[in-house]
Amino acid sequence: MGAIPIRRRVFVVGAAASTLCARTAVQAQARADTYRIICGFPPGGPVDLICRKLAERMAAITGANAFVENKVGAAGRLAVAELVKAPADGSAMLVTAASIITMYPHLYKQLTYDIFTDLTPVGTVASTAFAFAAGPAVPDSATTVTEVVRWSQAKGAAIACGNSGAGSMQHFLASMISRETGIEINHVPYRGGAASMQALAGGEVPLAVGTESAARALAQAGKLRVLATTGAQRSALYSQAPTFAELGWPALSQREWFGVLMPARVPMPTVEKTAALLAAIVGSPEVRETWDKQSLSVDNMHPAALKAAIQREYDFWAPIIRSSGFTPEA
């Protein structure tokens, strides 16, 4: 996919206020003439939308050119490999989901890069929790996770549960739900979260795990019901649904963050200045509103916190993926 440039814009005085404040906060930093933001997913998806908003705001604040390069393929691995080859001067960065960094090393044994030695964590910009939902194939009387557990046990057979794709975080969250709650689950992968939720609403599968955004429209239309969510607090979208932690399953508190990484050997002052720029961007009301429309939460870990999170989640997923026995086809 060709690069799409985004150049500095001119704003009216009122609209420019937040931009001027953000520019003041980062104006002392040395910047690249061009920011290249690598995205491992096609245009129009949630990660691509995050990338384009970041590019727009980086260009507006710094005056540099900023463009998004969609390097699609191998479930996001091509984009990581592309970043590793980029110059270590702070001009290139990757925006990617946590699972690609923390889970893939346990899934794919022939990666061409090492997440700990070839990448430099810069910060996070957004995150999402996940929803465990039931569709019309589950009786209306089963309105809670506990009632769905009883219903599934009474059936005496594995219950089909949709997810966004084999080997995705949703896939392994469903495995964890099965282990923690006792629901015997038969995994049914779809090509993306929207497809799995459509299948759920259509009665093709009784249960599904998806992001908050994937379930949003159909839940609001009453075509599926969210039973529980992951994350530390209740979701603003599904305030009636308890978290798994509230229900006594604290292990089911995973969120997917979206982080920015640079190649190894980028000087730490450059990393820290870029992290400050990202913080200024995601702290603005405009970006918060954009994220909210995509059912995303603002998330802003600094470089050291992101480095620690990568290690922590890498260690968390290792035994879960290993015990699942799952082997990706490619």
Condensed to tens digits (0 to 9), the pLDDT of residues 161-171 reads 999 999 999 99
Give pLDDT, residue 109: 87
37 CB neighbour count, 10 Å cutoff: 23
Give pLDDT, residue 208: 98
pTM: 0.87
Angle at 201 between CA 197 and CA 207, to 5 degrees: 70
Give pLDDT, residue 316: 96
DSSP-based three-state secondary structure for 25: helix
Whether residue 160 contacts residue 203, with contact meaning beta carbons closer than 8 Å, is answered with no
Whether residue 111 contacts residue 77, with contact meaning beta carbons closer than 8 Å, is answered with yes
110 CB neighbour count, 10 Å cutoff: 5
Going by C-alpha positions, the residue among 183, 189, 193 that lies closest to residue 218 is 193
In the block, tokens 């590793």 appear at: 84
User: 288 vs 17, 293, 325, CA distance in Å?
Assistant: 16, 9, 39
DSSP-based three-state secondary structure for 183: coil
Going by C-alpha positions, the residue among 292, 225, 257, 213 that lies closest to residue 103 is 257
Give pLDDT, residue 330: 55
Give pLDDT, residue 8: 36
| Residue numbers in the chain where pLDDT is lower than 70 | 1-32, 330
DSSP-based three-state secondary structure for 285: helix
Domain annotation for the chain: domains and CATH numbers: 4-128+255-324 (3.40.190.150), 130-229 (3.40.190.10)
Give pLDDT, residue 293: 92
Give pLDDT, residue 23: 46
DSSP-based three-state secondary structure for 178: helix
Give pLDDT, residue 154: 96
